[in-house]
Structure 1
Amino acid sequence: MATLAKTVVATGATSGIGFELVKQLLTQTQPYKFILAARDAKTAQAAFDSLKYDTSKHSLTIIPSDLTNLKTVKTFSQQALEKIGQDKIDYLMLNAATVKTVDEPGVSKWCGTYIVNHLSQHYLVHLLREKLEASQSRLVFVSSGGIRLIDDPSVLDESVKRNSGTKRDLYPDTKFIALLGAHWWRRQLQGKCKVVAVSPGLIPTTGLYRQTDIKLPADHPDAKSVPVGAQSVLAAFTRDDFPEDPDRIFLTSWGEWWESDVIKLTLDKKLQDKWCPSKDEVEKEEGITA
């Protein structure tokens, strides 16, 4: 009897750690059906075609989507659901991330880094929610140990606004907010879906900071390669040894579940609610019509 394919819907899977993760899954005997969002679908398609994977076993669909524009996120969700049909979503991986020091033109009050790293993917979960619940999916939020750099969440109100003038790296800020989102969705989907946040570790060669002057030290003692980082994320797909404490959803790159006190600032439910608007609220604020 043929093994049923598992469906993976993902953002941030066409380069860096996300690409490597898909590459590793394409070598497995378990069949996979990938539906991936990509800003540059043509380049992404060429990259996956070069892997020469077994197309009789795995299928891969790339749908254009610019996560700085939530209208394209809505289109992606519609096309993804059409492609999935009656099948279920086994995994939703939210891995897209960017670091920008200069905001691109736009109408949103939020900076591009915040929109990509949190709001667009939070909105995507809203759009897929009914299917995710019916599928009892696993949601994997790719996070960062950098969230520990945030010791005063009140600064986030101004730092992630468009043209705020903030000079510091907003990656930890936006990843902190995205972790608030992971906790919020864990609460919303309790008993229906599994939610895991995971850090791939310090990966200097992902190209994340290519649009900035920031350089990650390749010789850092904690530095890991892209394949190793992808294996850390892959563990979030397969681990079932969840702690009894439901707040301990963060899987580290060394394979441990962080204690609640390490991520305690993200456990504030009022703060989670503040940064996790409803679907209608997102659409109203970002000017998205039916």
Structure 2
Amino acid sequence: MSDVSNRKLIILTGANTGLGFEVLKQLLNQQVPYHIILAVRNIQQTETKIQSIVPSHQSVEIVKLDLSSLTSVKSFTQSILSRKPPLHINILILNAGVVKNTLTKTEDGFEHTFQVNHLSNIVLVHELLPRLIESGPGSRIILVNSRLHKPGVGTKEHGENRPIMDIENLDGSKMYSPLLFYRNSKLAQVFFGYQLDKLLNKKGEEERKVNVLIVEPGFCPTTELSREIGIFRQLFLRYILSWAPFARTSEQGGAVITYASTSSELQNKSGIYISQFCRIDKSSDESYEEDKQRFWWKTSCDLLGIEEDWSSLVFNQNEILD
């Protein structure tokens, strides 16, 4: 591994397929020297895929991360935080996502989609946030979201074309719909992003170290997100809907994420939603309801056994006491 002390360090989840792989290729083509940590489930597959695309001026490392396992998530963060000398984390791109065709539970007992798309990302941010703050100002957390968190967007399934955040049905025991649970996980992610931004802003904009950006790459039917939803739906997405006028290629979707991660235009922007056209836009009306932001922050932390007050992660002890 080359020396990383003079490089910007990026952590990218879900980097071996779909949008994540496109983001990786676009980052590698930039002139800025990066050290990119690819957080993936399958190390061998990733090694094979990237071995011929990494230019000499870039540095890439592959580390095991399975978001369906909180043990794996914590093992990953520990492996990053225990490095000597310490790694400075400049950009954390939370790209990995999934939608499950049938109701399945993770080893931690959570519904699979909700954990992979939302809960495990909270643990990643919780563990890595102090290091991101130390590495700032200008550090970024990129939450790769979906326009499906908005009501009325996308196809109807089981009569629902909007998120329904039902705390009594987080495990799918009352009713399960793949699209609904995907929508819910993405709405929960937006709630989390805005609440996290408020926490980071308590020191004031001048002292802010980390910016939070929520990114909508657009409808990209040729990504691997649909790998769990059955062969017929996959074929419909890849070969029918990919020709729809609103569909976007993986390259186009990846470009939005790359823009949010690296553009100097967004250097001092935080708590914003980036549209598929690389513009600051609005997320759903519901996502701005502060009582729901606080409620789902607390609920998510409770589910994970994390203290809901993250002040100790953001402020040093003297500032907390003051």
TM over 0.5, yes or no? yes
The 5 Å alignment of 1:131-210 reads 131-136=131-136, 137-149=139-151, 155-169=165-179, 170-190=181-201, 191-210=208-227
1:110 maps to 2:110: yes
**1:225-265 CA distance string (max 9 Å, x none):** 11111111111023455699965x10101122114xx5321
Match of 2:249 in 1: 225
**Aligned partners of 2:177 and 2:33: how far apart in 1?**
45
- Relative to structure 1, the CA distance from residue 173 to residue 144 in structure 2 (aligned partners, 3 Å threshold; closer, same or farther) is same
Match of 1:288 in 2: none
**1:212-235 CA distance string (max 9 Å, x none):** 143431111011111111111111
**Stretches of structure 2 lacking an aligned partner (at least 5 in a row):** 153-160, 202-207, 307-322
- Relative to structure 1, the CA distance from residue 273 to residue 233 in structure 2 (aligned partners, 3 Å threshold; closer, same or farther) is same
**Stretches of structure 1 lacking an aligned partner (at least 5 in a row):** 286-290
- Relative to structure 1, the CA distance from residue 187 to residue 160 in structure 2 (aligned partners, 3 Å threshold; closer, same or farther) is same
**Aligned partners of 1:210 and 1:250: how far apart in 2?**
27
Question: Could you tell me whether the CA contact under 8 Å between 1:143 and 1:179 is conserved in 2?
Answer: yes
Structure 1 window deviating more from structure 2 (139-148 vs 182-191): it is: 182-191
TM-score scaled by length of structure 2: 0.78
Instruction: Name the % identity.
Output: 28
- Deviation for aligned residue 1:126: 0.2
The 5 Å alignment of 1:265-284 reads 265-277=286-298, 281-284=302-305
Higher Rg of the two aligned structures: 2
**Aligned partners of 2:189 and 2:165: how far apart in 1?**
15
Number of aligned residue pairs: 279
Match of 2:280 in 1: 257
**Aligned partners of 1:144 and 1:60: how far apart in 2?**
27
Give 3-state SS (helix, strand or coil) of 1:202's partner: coil
**Aligned partners of 2:14 and 2:55: how far apart in 1?**
22
Give 3-state SS (helix, strand or coil) of 2:141's partner: strand
TM-score scaled by length of structure 1: 0.86
**Aligned partners of 1:158 and 1:175: how far apart in 2?**
18
Match of 1:12 in 2: 14
- Relative to structure 1, the CA distance from residue 114 to residue 40 in structure 2 (aligned partners, 3 Å threshold; closer, same or farther) is same
- Relative to structure 1, the CA distance from residue 273 to residue 145 in structure 2 (aligned partners, 3 Å threshold; closer, same or farther) is same
Given candidates 21, 25, 28, the residue that maps to 2:27 is: 25
- Relative to structure 1, the CA distance from residue 74 to residue 235 in structure 2 (aligned partners, 3 Å threshold; closer, same or farther) is same
More helix by share: 2
